[in-house]
């Protein structure tokens, strides 16, 4: 960074002369260094998959959480600072419960995503705070069908048919651009998610360190058991 710009990265509330908020950009860098997450929609639901990136054989893979249930019909995958993500997920769970108690109906996926992003945006606007260094891929099914949203540390949101966050985003998005089809079934979508992760990790995907979550119109959000995930990954990669 140029010395002339150093003063502008000291506080979140100060724009640089070229219109940048450096602390938000640093938070995006934290996301880019995070583990790769992918998500894609299929006919009746959404698949999320994450490479946990276990860096030592001494680590228990089950202790690393990257996919979370928010409500029965909504789940999310996180890339970046997991502690920040847990804080946002706790707030999202509370919003979902309050909505159900108040209106006696499940919260709409987009409504919940907007509330999360509104909260994230406030942390880019006040002194004494920092942006959340995490990007969430939020998947759900509501009256309008399957939905998949990506959230940014700035509080921006975007809806996708297929998307990825983290260090391998470029490789996964390239794979989706070439192979994604809108009329896929559940099994095909899960296999595509695994192959996109394999591409994103440059062929180094570890079946023991992969996590898969699925939400469908006819079933609640579910994180697949580790042995089931391992079998799916091994099969999708041709036994590699």
Displacement of CA 15 from its chain's centroid (Å): 28
Catalytic residues: 35
Q: Does 16 fall in a domain?
A: no
Q: Does 100 fall in a domain?
A: yes
Q: What is the pLDDT of residue 238?
A: 80
Q: What is the pLDDT of residue 127?
A: 81
Q: Does 25 fall in a domain?
A: no
Q: How many domains are there within the chain?
A: 1
Q: Does 29 fall in a domain?
A: no
145: phi > 0 → left, psi -120 to 50 → alpha, else beta; which? left
Q: Does 180 fall in a domain?
A: yes
Q: What is the pLDDT of residue 14?
A: 84
pLDDT under 50: residue ranges of the chain: 1, 240
Q: Does 23 fall in a domain?
A: no
Enclosing domain of residue 187: 35-236
| Residues pairing with 150 in the sheet | 137, 158
Q: Does 119 fall in a domain?
A: yes
Q: What is the pLDDT of residue 1?
A: 46
Q: Does 202 fall in a domain?
A: yes
Q: What is the pLDDT of residue 4?
A: 54
CATH of the domain at 175: 3.60.20.10
């Amino acid at each position: 960074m140029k010395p002339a710009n150093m003063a502008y990265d000291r506080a979140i509330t100060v724009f640089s002369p070229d219109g940048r908020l450096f602390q938000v950009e640093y938070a995006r860098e934290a996301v880019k260094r995070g583990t790769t997450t992918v998500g894609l929609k299929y006919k009746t639901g959404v698949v999320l998959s994450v490479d946990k990136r276990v860096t030592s054989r001494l680590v228990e893979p089950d202790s690393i959480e990257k996919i979370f249930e928010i409500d029965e019909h909504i789940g999310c995958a996180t890339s970046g600072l997991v502690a920040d993500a847990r804080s946002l997920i706790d707030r999202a769970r509370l919003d979902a419960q309050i909505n159900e108690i108040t209106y006696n109906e499940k919260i709409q996926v987009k409504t919940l995503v907007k509330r999360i992003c509104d909260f994230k945006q406030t942390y880019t606007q006040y002194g004494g705070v920092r942006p959340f260094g995490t990007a969430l891929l939020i998947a759900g099914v509501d009256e309008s069908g399957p939905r998949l949203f990506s959230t940014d540390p700035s509080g921006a949101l975007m809806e996708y048919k297929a998307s990825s966050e983290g260090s391998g985003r470029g490789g996964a998005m390239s794979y989706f651009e070439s192979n994604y089809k809108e009329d896929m079934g559940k099994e095909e979508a899960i296999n595509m998610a695994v192959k996109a992760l394999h591409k994103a990790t440059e062929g180094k995907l570890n079946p023991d360190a992969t996590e898969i979550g699925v939400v469908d119109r006819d079933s609640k959000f579910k994180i697949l058991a580790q042995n089931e995930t391992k079998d799916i990954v091994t099969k999708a990669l041709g036994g590699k």
